[in-house]
Amino acid sequence: MMTVYTLYVVRTTETWWNQPDETSMFSFGEFYSLTADKINYSVWELFIFIVLGSMGGFIGALFNFLNERLSLWRKKALVHPRSRTIEALTISLAMSCVAYGAPLFWNKCIIRPIESPKDAWSNQERELIEQLVSFQCKPNEYNEVASLFFTDSDTAIKQLFHFREIGENDQHTFSAGALFLFWSLYTAMACITYGLAVPSGLFVPSLLSGAAMGRFCGHVLHKLDGSSGTFADSGTYALVGAAAGLGGMARMTISLAVILLEATGDMQYVLPLMLALMAARFVGNMFNAGLYDIHIKLKRIPFLEGDLPIDALDAELTAGHVMSSGCVTMQPMMRVGALQSILSSCDHDCFPVVDPQRGDILVGTILRRTICVLLKHQAWFPEDAMHCDDDLDMSKANLAKKQPSAWAWRSQKQGKSSAFPVGWDEIGQLYPRFPEIWQVRITPQERELVVDLRPYINSGAYVVHHTASVNRAYRLFRTMGLRHLPVTDLHNRVVGMITRKDMTNEQLKERVTELDTQSRQHKKYRATTTTTCSVRRPHSAREGGGGGGGGGNTDPNTL
């Protein structure tokens, strides 16, 4: 927040100081009412806005599909960092050529609008006219496509929003051909560019491409009925199109509506924006998910949805069904060699700590990075220097900062300075670049030393019983922001561990499918076993041939 505020103050001091029309870092400018005391659109045009939102949802779904396929190809084909760098340089060069070649291909010059005494311009409109680009044109002319490509995105969006077009009065506008050319090329460029190994985003590009689409639709409507002025100005359609383009890509409604409304500063556009965003979300969700959700899955980020999947609720899953059994555990006192071997053989981020002297009951958890920091700082001691005192205060506040090991405690009592205590403040200073186990150098003699983990154990870690419902575990992950959840039995012994990855929709649905398959196989096995065991014994009366009974032989071997 301080960085953003400082940047805002510097920019305001440098360029816009004492200008009341520039009150925010990102603004769409002021939308003027075309007629006094009336909104800039008719009520029946809300249906057109819904159609425009549906178009944005369909185009957004296609955009997300193509970008997902391209991202999957990048993950398989471009593995080496050098190839990602070459790709970024190549695409940057190609996109620059396209952005420069499109205005050359258009090669049409339009005379700049001239202010008339009857139609006075605002300061905003004068600035937008001055920012038109005279690419391959005379000084009093401008290139439509170059004015959209060669200016920054904020200025291009404002030009699409605020160049008036009412009926046949379209002198302050972009032509349909220029809008379609810019929209098609810019959307394709955004689809190809997003996912490169560069810091980038799609918020403003989606607004700009959507504004071009909306402006194009408004321009076409005005050409169909240019004399009566039935439709709203093209700037209104550009604003609704921007919302449709962004909503079709991101599939968000309330937050985007608030952001766009704050950027416009005009309450008359609340209903059109909401309708366009909801239509874009509804149509887009019929085909695929939002682009941000798609990339979360591609990166395998364990993001948990707001509600538990209905399949997991119907299957009545428990924590024991979804946990990872056979988890690696630690002990309060461990040798350096054992810690190094465990950390080198697995990539777990959290380990349950059990007490072998009390039947391996759970005493807490410890993080991988904490153990690596202890080993990096050589916080170990000889086994014969262990100080076992049940009355010793083992709390984090008293022990972790001052005496992180028994050797440190003993050395401090004896006035020695050979021990190197590691406090929580020292561990926190290493964030986010904690040492890895391969960065720790340990000699064969040091492998026999002992590390005291007790001061660094989270003794108040959340745990769940193995018979608890998966819904309860899911709520713990969602509400408490957990990453790991130990699972215990009746005697508080660790039987497994649940991570956020185990609680994702894909993992839960896969687990439900596995349990259904096992249940059907078990029922089939029981039915087969019952049929095999139910053999009917022969009746002696039937074998004796009748005649009052008594003539039959019950030994089948004599038949």
Two tokens, residue 243: 């919302």
DSSP state of 25: S
Question: Using CA atoms, how far apart are residues 445 and 449, in angstroms rounded to an integer?
Answer: 8
pLDDT of residue 558: 35
How distant, in Å, are the alpha carbons of 107, 327, 350, 385, 474 from that of 320? 69, 13, 19, 41, 13
Q: Do residues 185 and 102 touch, judged by C-beta distance below 8 A?
A: yes
Element (H, E) at 170: none
Mean pLDDT by 10 residues, the chain (559 residues): 67 54 59 67 91 97 97 92 94 95 90 72 80 89 93 90 63 82 96 92 94 92 72 86 96 91 85 96 96 93 84 80 90 94 93 93 94 91 64 42 43 43 82 90 92 91 94 93 94 94 88 83 71 48 42 39
N-terminal to C-terminal alpha carbon distance within the chain: 98
How are beta strands 333-335 and 324-325 bridged, if at all? unpaired
What is d(CA 214, CA 161) in angstroms, rounded to the nearest whole number?
A: 10
| Structure token pair of residue 393 | 């205060």
Residue 313 in tokens: 């609720």
Query: What is the pLDDT at residue 400?
Result: 39
Alpha-carbon distance of 283 to 288, in angstroms, equals 9
Residues 261 and 41: their CA atoms lie apart, in Å, by 16
pLDDT score for 228: 62
Four-CA torsion 201, 203, 204, 208, nearest 10 degrees: 120
Please give the Cα distance from 549 to 328 (Å, whole number). 72
Cα 245 from Cα 262, distance rounded (Å): 18
Q: What are phi and psi of 508, to 5 degrees?
A: -65, -45
CA-nearest of 266, 209, 288, 286 to 243 is 209
Assess whether the previous peptide bond of 272 is cis (omega < 30° from 0): no
Q: Quick one: 422 exposed, middle or buried, by C-beta within 10 A (0-12, 13-18, 19+)? A: buried
Residue type, 253: T
Tell me if the pTM is above 0.75.
Answer: yes
- The closest alpha carbon to 187, from 153, 210, 157, belongs to 210
pLDDT score of 389:
46
Residue among 218, 220, 301, 249 nearest 41 (CA): 218
Distance CA 102, CA 79 (A): 33
Query: Which DSSP string do the residues of 522-547 spell out, in sequence order?
Result: HHHHHHHHHHHH-PPPPPHHHHHTSS
Task: Give residue-wise pLDDT tens across range 8-55.
Answer: 667 656 555 445 444 445 567 777 665 556 778 888 889 999 999 999
- CATH superfamily for domain 32-298: Clc chloride channel (1.10.3080.10)
**Pair type for strands 464-465 and 109-111:** unpaired
Give, as one character, the DSSP assignment of residue 436: P
| Beta strand 484-488 pairing with 464-465 | parallel
497 beta partners: 324, 486
**Quick one: three-class SS letters along 380-424?**
CECHHHCCCCCCCCCCHHHHHCCCCCHHHHHHHHHCCCCCCCCCH
CA distance linking residue 497 with residue 117, whole number of Å: 76
Q: Which has the closest alpha carbon to 157: 192, 185, 182, 122? A: 182
496 by Cβ neighbours in 10 Å (0-12 / 13-18 / 19+) ranks as: buried
- 146: tokens are 């170059």
d(CA 112, CA 490): 81
What stretch(es) of the chain map to CATH 1.10.3080.10?
Answer: 32-298
User: Who contacts 458 (Cβ-Cβ below 8 Å, separation ≥6)?
Assistant: 364, 365, 366, 367
Maximum separation of any 2 CA atoms in the chain, in Å:
130
Q: Are 63 and 287 in contact (CB under 8 A)?
A: no
pLDDT attached to residue 231: 77
> Could you count the other beta carbons within 10 Å of the beta carbon of residue 429?
8
Which residues does residue 304 pair with via DSSP β-bridges, in sequence order?
none
Chain centroid, CA 502 distance in Å: 17
